[in-house]
Amino acid sequence: MEHKIETDFMIINMGPQHPSTHGVLRLELKTDGEIVMACRPFLGYLHRCFEKHCESLDYLKIIPFTDRMDYLASMNNNWAFCIAIEKLMGIKVSEKCEYLRVIVGELNRIASHIIAFGTFGLDIGAFTPFLLAFIQREKIFDLLEEASGARMLYNYIWVGGVARDVDGDWLKKTKKFCQEFKPALDEVDELLSLNKIFVERTANVGVVTKEMAISYGFTGPNLRGSGVNWDLRKNEPYSLYTKFDFNIPVGAGEQGQVGDCWDRYIIRIRECRESIKIIEQALEGISLEGDIYETVPKNFNKMPKGEVYARSETPRGEMGIYVVSEGGKAPVPYRVKVRSPAFCSLSILEEICKGVMISDVIAILGSVDIVLGEVDR
């Protein structure tokens, strides 16, 4: 870009207290007028020492801390951690528990995507979709509260099982919710997706190419937004995901280039529909007979010596848990490392924020959908 009028460079600090940084992220923007010349992110304002806690607490006590890592999708975090420990201990979880995990996991995925596109709209300047979406989110919370006992941080999925059983009534309510949710989502979709202002603000903004996306560790909806057909639920199936029939929405550059903010946004809307499909199939398949505590280990005295890296698909992408166990009677893990999807996705910011307008930084940040609790851990 060629400038005829010379302006002074200005350093602007965005955050850590800023309504559209989705938490406590600080960006140092070097600007030339309205154009961002360089962007340096500063993290760590929510570093809560998760990995240090893991080295001091035993396996079951860690699960509540995983809740607080990515607080928008606690179920999926619980699940990711439990998958790692189950892989380490060689536990096969009973089918009923797997069904329950799929249902609550997908419900939580929808709740998380609602926050993602609700607040994204809010950042761009659309307030109504946010309010409409939150009505549905409260309904999901009612369901999850009835199942687990908590509104937001559930501690529901345990190693080898789930914490509490559900009854037929709950299944009926969930089914009713699925039916009600579809038209409500369509309403938000119609209101926001093809809105002229919204499209102008997001299409062709923050384009991430396929190669860049893979190199910078994009996963989940962000990676699919860049046109890569990759979903761990399909490509590396865990739990019962082979049983269900669902599609993987992939960005195609309908409003602009492949991998722009609009693509990343629309993936989330479409994924909600796929999640509903999965839940409906799971509700058909689940049988209420059987003990949920059947495969829950009595104690953790016989941990094998070794290490595992287990990954699963959370709403923000691939969450990998690397656990090192000393074996024997050691009640605590030797080391737990979380590969957090939001942390990896955020690292691209420095790269794609060069030469964009200041207002586009907001759009890019909103479309990447970060949760600072997970970035800083």
Partner 1 sequence: MSLDGILEEGVITTTVDGVLNWAKKSSIWPMGFGLACCAIEMMATGASRFDMARFGCEVFRPSPRQCDLMIVAGTVTMKMAVRVKRLYEQMPEPKYVISMGSCSNCGGPYWQHGYHVLKGVDRIIPVDVYVPGCPPRPEALLEGIFKLQEKINQQTIAKKLVV
Partner 2 sequence: MTPEEIFDKLKEKFGEGKILRLTLPSQNGFDVCDPFIDVEPLAMTELADFLKHDKDLAFDQCCCISGVDLKDDLQVVYHLFSMSKLHKICIKATAKRDNPIVGTTAHTWGVANWLERETWDMFGIKFKDHPDHRRILLEEDWEGFPLRKDYKFPRFWRGMEVTPEEEEGTYGTQD
Question: Is 307 near partner 2 (CB under 8 A)?
Answer: yes
The partner in contact with residue 9, picked from partner 2, partner 1, none with C-beta cut-offs of 5 to 8 angstroms by kind, is none
The partner in contact with residue 88, picked from partner 2, partner 1, none with C-beta cut-offs of 5 to 8 angstroms by kind, is partner 2
The two tokens of residue 328 are 């024997």
Nearer to partner 2, 276 or 303 (CB): 303
By CB under 8 A, name the one of 52, 164, 335, 354 that touches partner 1.
52
Report the site for partner 2 in 62-91 (rule: CB under 8 A): 87-88, 90
By CB under 8 A, name the one of 11, 131, 197, 288 that touches partner 1.
131
Question: Is 23 near partner 1 (CB under 8 A)?
Answer: yes
Give the integer Cα–Cα distance in Å for 79 and 76: 5
Give the integer Cα–Cα distance in Å for 24 and 30: 19
Max Cα distance, the chain (Å): 74
Please, what is the minimum distance in Å from the beta carbon of residue 84 to partner 1? 20
By CB under 8 A, name the one of 11, 125, 134, 211 that touches partner 1.
134
| Residue 340 contacts residue 217 (beta carbons within 8 Å) | no
Question: Beta partners for 308?
Answer: 323
Pairs from 136-140 (Cβ < 8 Å, separation ≥ 24): 136/110, 136/181, 136/184, 136/185, 137/111, 139/177, 139/180, 139/181, 140/107, 140/108, 140/110, 140/111, 140/114, 140/177
Give the number of residues in contact with partner 1, rule: CB under 8 A: 34
281's enclosing H/E stretch is: helix 261-285
Give the integer Cα–Cα distance in Å for 105 and 34: 42
Please state, as a whole number, how many other Cβ atoms lie within 10 Å of the Cβ of residue 280: 17
By CB under 8 A, name the one of 212, 248, 357, 358 that touches partner 2.
212
The partner in contact with residue 80, picked from partner 1, partner 2, none with C-beta cut-offs of 5 to 8 angstroms by kind, is none
Distances (CA, A) of 255 to 120, 199, 311, 351: 17, 7, 32, 23
Nearer to partner 1, 177 or 262 (CB): 177
Give the integer Cα–Cα distance in Å for 344 and 48: 18
Give the integer Cα–Cα distance in Å for 263 and 253: 6
Give the integer Cα–Cα distance in Å for 288 and 171: 10
Segment interacting with partner 2 (CB under 8 A) among 137-145, 166-174, 305-313, 360-368: 305-313
Report the site for partner 2 in 230-249 (rule: CB under 8 A): 230
Q: Is 352 helix (H, G, I), strand (E, B) or coil?
A: helix
The partner in contact with residue 87, picked from partner 1, partner 2, none with C-beta cut-offs of 5 to 8 angstroms by kind, is partner 2
| Residue 374 contacts residue 66 (beta carbons within 8 Å) | no
Give the integer Cα–Cα distance in Å for 307 and 333: 10
Please, what is the minimum distance in Å from the beta carbon of residue 228 to partner 2? 8
Q: What mask of x and - would describe binding to partner 2 in positions 31 to 60, judged by CB under 8 A?
A: ------------xx--x-x-xx--xx----
Question: Is 234 near partner 1 (CB under 8 A)?
Answer: no
The partner in contact with residue 304, picked from partner 2, partner 1, none with C-beta cut-offs of 5 to 8 angstroms by kind, is partner 2
Question: Is 19 near partner 1 (CB under 8 A)?
Answer: yes
Interface residues toward partner 1, by CB under 8 A: 16-19, 23-24, 44-49, 52-53, 56-57, 64-65, 68, 71-72, 115, 130-132, 134-135, 137-138, 151-153, 372-373
Interface residues toward partner 2, by CB under 8 A: 43-44, 47, 49, 51-52, 55-56, 87-88, 90, 212, 214-217, 228, 230, 304-309, 311, 318, 320, 322, 324, 327, 332, 334-335, 337, 339, 343-344, 346-348, 351, 376
